[in-house]
């Protein structure tokens, strides 16, 4: 039976077991690559976002016309936006 034969195959092999293994390998590679890209994009996006929020929270004291309680509320709100 073909499935039980010992052979070396490539992506042109028509053995059903090999076709399934190749399909699964390609899916696994695609999912891993896609996940890696998503993680890098998320880290880049939220890294910049979090840095901007940190700066905004540090500078909330520069807001003129608000009392300390309002400035503190702004700082807490801004830090709550971090991802």
At 80, give phi and psi (nearest 5°).
-70, -15
pLDDT digits (tens, 9 = 90+) for 38-66: 777 777 777 777 787 788 777 777 777 77
Q: How far apart are CA 22 and CA 12, in angstroms?
A: 10
Global pTM reads 0.39
Q: How many CB atoms are located within 10 Å of the residue 33 CB?
A: 10
Q: How far apart are CA 77 and CA 47, in angstroms?
A: 18
Q: How far apart are CA 69 and CA 1, in angstroms?
A: 79
Q: How far apart are CA 1 and CA 9, in angstroms?
A: 15
pLDDT digits (tens, 9 = 90+) for 4-40: 555 567 767 888 888 888 888 888 888 888 888 877 7
Q: How many CB atoms are located within 10 Å of the residue 10 CB?
A: 7
């Amino acid at each position: 039976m073909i499935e039980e034969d010992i052979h070396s195959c490539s992506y042109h092999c028509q053995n059903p077991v090999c076709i399934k293994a190749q399909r699964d390998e390609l899916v696994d590679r695609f999912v891993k690559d896609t996940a890696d890209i998503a993680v890098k994009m998320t880290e880049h996006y939220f890294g910049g976002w979090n840095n901007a929020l940190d700066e905004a929270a540090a500078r909330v004291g520069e807001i003129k016309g608000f009392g300390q309680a309002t400035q503190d509320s702004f700082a807490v709100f801004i830090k709550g936006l971090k991802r």
